[in-house]
Structure formats: structure tokens, C-alpha cells
Amino acid sequence: MMKNFLTPFLVLFLIAGLYACRQEKEVTVKEYPMFWTWLDYHPCMNFDSVCQVMNDIGMDGIMLNAPTPDDYRIAIPIAHKHGIEVYAWLWTMNLEHDRDKILAEHPEWFSVNRNGKSLADTTAYVDYYKFLCPALPEVREFIKEKIKSYCEVEGLNGIAIDYNRFVDVVLPTTLWPHYGIVQDREYAAWDYGYHPAMLEEFKEQYGYDPRGQEDPSSDVKWRQFRCDRITEVANMIAEVVHSYGKTMAASPFPTPKMASRMVRQDWGKWNLDIVFPMVYHTFYTEDVSFISDCTVENARDKNDKTVLYCGMTATDGPEMFACMDAALNSGAQGIAVFTVAGLRSPEVKKRFKAYTDSVKAVRAANGGIIEAVYPHVADANPFAHKGVMELIEKRMRQIIAKTSGTEELPSLALGEYKQTESYDATRCYRVADENSETVFKVTFYFYGDVLSGWDVAAE
């Protein structure tokens, strides 16, 4: 049974006392801020009021994306006045504020896909996807100097890197309709990392060109090679950040195994102090169980020296607290919300403050850690995910109603799910509804060891 952190305070402190008196063990966990948000900073914004809102609801850390180091010099004293730590939220392999300049000056720096097309003159999904090639020494030097310029900002508590990866070879399933695509396997147009420098280095190490294979996506060595180049960049950044005495953090994809498949990002090998995996359940299965599944996997697969947090989308309602319970019960030591602006209603803000107070008290009483309630492995059986199956059946009812031209959602009488196909990370099933005589194709996607997406269509 999941622990509910919004218990009455008397009971809370009794529980906290039991935690503290439990085993006599030394816990050497550095206590970073526990509740965070990501936020874009603009010089014209009222940053003081944002910090006040964070104060009011119990958030004590912010990953701030600002255009220049000088912008941080203005923002940091304001945040510190409110007792909020500031990390520079920096894009690395994907360009941001200096995108146009680098495109004009160094088109040879950009990542290339399996079809041989460079991001210098083609688009992957959106115009702002302009990823660099991590194998080029000049790209690494460019990133290193950029990181140094932010580390030199007095009062900055840490660096939190983002986009330290390749282009998504597979997008989260809920985004497919937006782009009119289905990514049931890895397709060449979105498979990046084929820059001549990457191919040359790989061939030197392994003796062959991955493009010569019938299906390069099935080559584990080639996939890991690209992950390792990204890891080298992350650890180069960590070395710089630590040399300035600052904290190194990152916002990667949901789990190391998922990330390595979806964006070539094996972040369990990065030298991070804190990790904020972006476990955005609304992008994947749309069910809270995705958060607990991923967090359990992350507790297992992260770097042993890294403190695990959980990043999630803001929900202005009760689901916000179910999401945080799922993460903290599964091994996360804190929460990052994208973003604080999504918590709008006074009722949710008030409840959020009570939640943060209660969890911080439990952590303090337990030697600086939140203990996982159920440290088991994620359940890879899709039919065991009750919330996911309810969403699937709702989709079926909507399809039937649309086909029959009615507004009322009908009841279902489903037969047995029969597996029809299985390939790559995809499993396909067929099931019939006896009431409407509709046959459905139900597809599940597994990137890493967790259920990471699903789809339903009438045959």
C-alpha cells in the first residue's frame, strides 16, 4: 500500500520518530533542496513574485534557464533572499541562445541522421532541434567554455544540464499524433549520430561501418558507442562544475534504459550529484504507475553516488499528490515540477505546502532520506497496470461511440487478448468486443524495462 504523505501531523511525527529510532546506521546523504521547479527567466519578469510563490508552497530549489550569465547575477540574490537555491539550467548538445550564430559559423558541427542529412540544413520534428556532434573536439571545447562562463557566476549553487543527448529516435507515444507519425521501431529519418567523425571513430574501434548492416538500429555496439560519446560530454562537464565547487545535476529521459534507446543517453554512468529524470507520465502511458515503475528502475540503475529525484509535470488537482507519492514511495528523494506556474488554484497551493512540510519532516527525522515503501522491480506485464487498462478501455468506448454516432459511451464485453506480433520494443494484441462486434488492435511499447506507451485502433 502506498504511503500517503498528507497524514495528520501528530501521526506524522510518531512515524518520523520510529524512522529515526529504527536501525543504528550512519547516513551520509547531503541534503539538497527537496522540492524544485524548472523555469525560464526573462529580465522583464517579476522574478521576486515567482520566488514568493515558491516560498509559499514549500519549493526550495529552482533550475533557471536564463539567456546570459549576467542574467543569473541579477536573479540569484533575489532567489537567495527567499532561501531558494539556483542551478543554471543549461542546454548542451542542442543549441539554444547561440543557435543562429553557430549555424552560420560552424555548419559542420551538427548531427547527421542515418539518411546522411545534417541538422545544419534539415529539420527533425521542430526547428529548434539543432543538436551538435559529441565526437568533435571543437564541439566539446565550445561546451566546456560555455559551462565555465556560468560556473564563474558568484552565488550559483549548481549546473543542471539538459538536452545532453541525440535527437529522439523515438518520441513518447502521446506526441505521435501531433507529428502524424508512428514510431513502432527505429526509423532512419530520426536516427542520428551518423556524423563522419562518429562513423570514423566507430570504424577505428570496431572495424566496420554500421551503415553496412541491414538494420543498424539492432547493433548494440553502435547504440552503446553513441551513448558513450554523450556520457563523455556529461562527465567532462561534471569535471568542470566540480572544479568550481558547484553541484552537478541533469534532467535526462525517464530511465537509463529508456533513454539509451530513445535518445542515446545512458545517464546511469554520468558523474552526477543529483539527477532529475523527466518522468512525465502524461507523455507516455498517461497513468501514475509510469512514475513508480520508472523510479524503481532509476533507484536500481543510477550512479551509486547520485541522489535520485523525480521530475514530473504540474497537475492543478489531486493527481499532483498521487504523482509525488508514487515517486517518493519508490525511492526518489525529492521532486521537481514542470513548472510552478502550473499550480494555480489556491486549494492546490495550500495542499502542496502541507505536503512539502510533512515530507521534509519525515526526511529530517530519518537522517536525511526518504525510504522506499516498495523497492521491487517494475511490473512489465501491461495487463497488471489497472490504470492503463482503464484508459485503454475508455479509448475503445470512445471509438465505438464515434463509429455509431452517439455521445454516450457504451459498455464493453471484451474477450481474450491474443498476442499477434512482437518486434523491437513493440507488442501487438487483438481483442474483440462482443457487444459492438468491434475488433481492436492494442499495442504496447516497452523501451527499457517499463511499459512506456500504448495505442488502440479498431481493425
Local confidence band at 377 (pLDDT 50, 70, 90 cut-offs)? confident
Predicted local distance difference test score (pLDDT) of residue 74: 97
Q: Is the pLDDT of residue 229 over 60?
A: yes
Cβ atoms < 10 Å from Cβ of 21: 9
Query: Quick one: pLDDT at residue 375?
Result: 62
| Residues 30, 191: Cα–Cα separation, whole Å | 39
Average pLDDT in the chain: 93
State yes or no: pLDDT of 24 exceeds 50: no
Q: What is the pLDDT of residue 373?
A: 84
Whole-number pLDDT of residue 19: 40
The predicted-structure confidence for 41-58, as pLDDT tens digits, reads as follows 999 999 999 999 999 999
Question: Confidence band (pLDDT; 50, 70, 90) for 378?
Answer: confident
Burial class (CB in 10 A: 0-12, 13-18, 19+), 189: middle
- In one letter, which amino acid is 393? E
- pTM reported for the whole predicted model: 0.93
d(CA 397, CA 384): 20
State the number of CA atoms in the 13 A half-sphere of 126 facing the CB.
10
Distance, CA of 240 to CA of 66 (rounded, Å): 20
Predicted confidence (pLDDT) at residue 239 exceeds the cutoff of 80 = yes
pLDDT of 445 reads 97
For residue 275, the number of C-alpha atoms closer than 13 Å in the C-beta half-sphere is 30
The pLDDT of residue 178 is 94
| Digit-coded pLDDT (tens) for 116-135 | 999 999 999 999 999 999 99
Grid-cell match 567523425, residue found = 197
Q: What's the CA dihedral at 337, 341, 347, 353 to 10 degrees?
A: 50
Domain chopping of the chain, boundaries: 9-365, 382-458
User: What's the CA gap between 446 and 255, in Å, rounded?
Assistant: 12
Q: Is the pLDDT of residue 14 over 90?
A: no
Alpha carbons 433 and 413: distance in angstroms, whole number: 5
pLDDT at position 16 over 50: no
Q: What is the average per-residue pLDDT within 286-302? A: 96
Average pLDDT over every residue of 433-449: 95
Length of the chain as a residue count = 459
Residue 272: band (very low, low, confident or very high) from pLDDT cuts 50, 70, 90: very high
Backbone angles phi, psi at 365, to 5 degrees: -75, -15
For 9-365, CATH gives 3.20.20.80
The model's pLDDT over 205-225, given as tens digits with 9 standing for 90+, comes to 999 999 999 999 999 999 999
Q: Are 67 and 90 in contact (CB under 8 A)?
A: no
To the nearest whole percent, how much of the chain has pLDDT over 90? 90
Q: What is the 3-state secondary structure (H, E, C) of the chain?
A: CCCCCCCCHHHHHHHHHHHHHCCCCCCCCCCCCCEEEEEECCCCCCHHHHHHHHHHHCCCEEEEECCCHHHHHHHHHHHHHCCCEEEEEEECCECCCCHHHHHHHCHHHECEECCCCECCCCCECECCCCEECCCCHHHHHHHHHHHHHHHCCCCCCEEEEECCCCCCCCCCHHHHHHHCCCCCCCCHHHCECCCHHHHHHHHHHHCCCHHHCCCHHHCHHHHHHHHHHHHHHHHHHHHHHHHCCCEEEECCCCCHHHHHHHCCCCHHHCCCCEECCECCHHHCCCCCHHHHHHHHHHHHHCCCCCEECEEEECCCCCHHHHHHHHHHCCCCCCEEEECHHHCCCHHHHHHHHHHHHHHHHHHHHCCCCCCCCCCCCCCCCHHHCHHHHHHHHHHHHHHHHHHHCCCCCCCCCECCCEEEEEECCEEEEEEEECCCCEEEEEEEEEECCEEEEEEEEEC
Q: Where is average pLDDT lowest: 24-33, 167-176, 450-459?
A: 24-33
Looking at residue 6, its pLDDT comes to 56
Closest CA to 241 of 329, 122, 157, 298: 157
Q: What is the pLDDT of residues 135-153, one digit of tens each?
A: 999 999 999 999 999 999 9
